[in-house]
Amino acid sequence: STGAVKMQPKAEELKFVTKNDGYVHIHPSSVNYQTRHFESPYLVYHEKIKTSRVFIRDCSMVSVYPLVLLGGGQVHMQLLRGDFVISLDDGWIRFVAASHQVAELVKELRSELDQLLQDKIKNPSMDLCVCPRGSRIIGMIVKLVTTQ
């Protein structure tokens, strides 16, 4: 009956960290400004501006698997203190995989997707939904992202 209840931060108190700018805040004109809790700690944004402080606009929360599969840079995996860690952007973005097998599968799926996109660039008329390899890779990604 007594004790503290954890409160969600106020909109102006919520901040995120970027690699180059340190702390950034969601701009008051953003539709996400009043959002006080995000299921994932990762946001992608379109615009960053500096006024009284650095703000981001046009932002969306992104969960881990879409970030790993569709984000830029190389995917790396390593064992740290008994955990299998998948990292992006030279280790700046890191998260723990459920197991070594999950980490390897995610890394391999990313590699297959990268190769598939390179094939599509070389042959723009290729229909990825009809191509057996393409449809399997896309199907796995859709299943992974929607059941996460």
pLDDT in tens, 62-88: 988 888 898 878 888 888 888 889 888
Q: For residue range 4-24, list pLDDT tens digits in order.
A: 666 777 777 788 998 888 899
- Please spell the DSSP secondary structure of 65-99, one letter per residue: HHHHHHSSS--EEEEETTEEEEEEGGGTEEEE-SS
Listed by start position, the domains of the chain span 11-62, 65-146
How far apart are the C-alpha atoms of 26 and 88, rounded to whole Å?
A: 23
pTM confidence score: 0.75
What pLDDT, on a 0 to 100 scale, did the predictor assign at position 26? 93
